Amino acid sequence: MARLQGKTAVITGATGGQGRIACMRFAEEGATVIGTDLDAAAGADLTTELQEKGFAMTYVAADLADPEGVERLAVAAREFDGIDILYANHGIILGKPLLETSIEEWDHVQDVNIKSVFLLTKALAPLMEGRAASIVNVSSVGGLTVFPNLSAYGAAKAGLAMFSKCAAVDLAQRGIRVNAICPGVIDTAMPRNFVATLPDNPDEDEVMKGFAQGHVLGRLGRPEEVVNLALFLASDESSFMTGSVLTVDGGWSLQ
């Protein structure tokens, strides 16, 4: 039997590089997927792609930093017979020195990277109660170790790791497990977006090469390597795990 057979999964950040892979892999493992992201057109394309492969996929375009966007997603989720998995895969990054970061930039990073997960958890946990459900939050190695020019992002991702532990305690009696993943630098658009925001316009290839060398394994991570762990945490294979903060960082946090 497929690992997620009969389960319904909400996957955020669904149209990004890692999110698209997650939607496909979760569907291949038997899940009905409810994807969400900002881009309605990209979501429609993703939905068509999965449905043409015979998978069950629904998409909701929503800004999860906005309570109204989260409610729009929750309304769609209530059309299903309960939610078994929340994979909070979305996030943004800002590469800027602390003293040059505006209040608006700080608030936006916190709203997208951590407040949204709080809103999602409050909205969807009632639909997950009593189902041996699983919440998987994507934090970051940047929430565990220090990177220059990442004060807003690092604070949000560190907060998300601790939020996941707190939520694991509060939701345990409701039959909901909560774990967090802390990826290293993954070969997606996000680290390149980070480089583009850095002061002094550094060479992207050189910065990415430095990121690769910063991992003990000497390379960037691949999106599917993060999704593989998410699948395990979402499935019943990890039924005795909650409150864990797990790195998929090629050894970066060892240094």
d(CA 237, CA 228): 12
46-56: b (≥16 Cβ within 10 Å) or e? bbeebeeeebe
- Count of positions (residues) in the chain: 255
d(CA 247, CA 10): 22
Q: Are 61 and 40 in contact (CB under 8 A)?
A: yes
The active-site residue, picked from 153, 163, 194, 211, is 153
d(CA 137, CA 149): 23
d(CA 27, CA 12): 14
| Residue 59 falls in the annotated catalytic set | no
> What stretches of 144-217 show up as alpha helix (H) in DSSP?
151-171, 189-197, 204-214
Question: Which helix (H) or strand (E) element contains residue 119?
Answer: helix 116-128
Active site residues: 153
